[in-house]
């Protein structure tokens, strides 16, 4: 490990974040970098507006992109509000246990392709246990102010970078916004000599 890091800003309410997940976490398999997951609150919970036209066209575009990437998409339960917050604090717990990759991939797939309601214990428990987390730990985490503070710190860190949308990758002072910019991030990782042989 070279000690280099890619910060990965992600929102459970962003379908583009969902699309980015498998490739984002896989960066650590192909490059000598640590992928640091940083879950942030949805745009609409950060005081930003999402016009209807944007929301509709995002769904249409993501549907095409999901098909291209071979990812399931289309049966959706909008996680705005409690569902997003619960997923975010569990992500922090999962980070502590080294299972954030598993949890983020499972939970986001369930939201965007299985219409799982993460605001309910039934929905969230399936995602947690699917990621190898103990439900008892997760129940405690949901009420944890410390974990919520970490989510808020992630959200502030994104704003401090001058970024608004997600997914965003921050590497070596450069910001890459969008699931379709992972190839540019990879070019930078290669230029930095971080490709695994």
Partner 1 sequence: MPSLVVRLARNDRRARIACGLRRRLGRKGRVELYFAFDDPNSAVAVIDLAIRLDDFDITLDLRPVVNRGIPDDPAVEDKRRHAIDDARRLFKRSGLTMVRTEPIRPETTAFLAEWVAATPRGAARSAFCVVALKKLWLEAGPEVDQADYARIWERNFDRPTPVPHLAAVRANEKMMKRRGPYDTPAAWVHGQWFFAHDRLSQIAERLDDLGWRKSS
Footprint on this chain of partner 1 (rule: CB under 8 A): 47-49, 51, 53-54, 56-57, 59-61, 63-64, 68, 73-76, 78, 115, 162-164, 174-178, 180-181, 183-184, 187
Would you say 37 or 176 has its CB closer to partner 1?
176
Shortest Cβ distance from residue 190 to partner 1 (Å)? 13
Q: How far is the CB of 143 from partner 1 (least distance, A)?
A: 29
Nearest approach in angstroms of CB 59 to partner 1 is 5
DSSP line for 7-75? EEEE-TT-HHHHHHHHHHHHHHHHBSEEEEEEE---GGGTT----HHHHHHHHHHHHHHHHHHT-----
Give 135 or 164: the residue with its C-beta nearer to partner 1: 164
Nearer to partner 1, 131 or 155 (CB): 155
5 or 75, CB closer to partner 1? Answer: 75
Decide: 42 and 14 in contact? Cβ < 8 Å: yes
**Strand partners of residue 38:** 9
Closer residue to partner 1 (CB): 57 or 156: 57
Distance CA 58, CA 107 (A): 20
Smallest distance from partner 1 to CB 76, Å = 4
Positive or negative, the Cα torsion across 44, 82, 150, 168?
negative
All residues at 6 or more sequence positions from 88 whose CB lies less than 8 Å from its CB, including other chains: 12, 39, 40, 41, 148, 151
The answer to whether 31 touches 195, Cβ cutoff 8 Å, is yes
CB of 43 vs partner 1, minimal distance in Å: 9
């Amino acid at each position: 490990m070279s000690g280099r890091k890619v910060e990965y800003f992600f929102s459970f309410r962003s379908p583009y974040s969902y699309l980015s997940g498998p490739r984002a976490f896989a960066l650590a398999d192909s490059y000598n970098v640590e992928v640091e997951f940083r879950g942030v609150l949805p745009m609409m919970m950060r005081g930003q507006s999402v016009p209807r036209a944007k929301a509709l066209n995002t769904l249409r575009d993501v549907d095409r992109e999901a098909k291209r990437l071979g990812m399931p998409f289309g049966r959706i339960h909008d996680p705005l509000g409690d569902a997003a917050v619960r997923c975010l604090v569990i992500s922090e717990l999962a980070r502590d246990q080294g299972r954030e990759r598993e949890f983020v991939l499972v939970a986001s797939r369930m939201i965007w392709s299985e219409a799982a309601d993460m605001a309910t214990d039934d929905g969230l428990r399936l995602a947690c246990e699917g990621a190898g987390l103990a439900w008892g730990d997760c129940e405690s985490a949901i009420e944890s102010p410390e974990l919520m503070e970490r989510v808020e710190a992630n959200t502030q860190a994104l704003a401090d970078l001058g970024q608004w949308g997600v997914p965003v990758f921050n590497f070596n002072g450069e910001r890459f916004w969008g699931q379709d910019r992972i190839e540019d991030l990879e070019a930078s990782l290669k230029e930095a000599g971080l490709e695994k042989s």
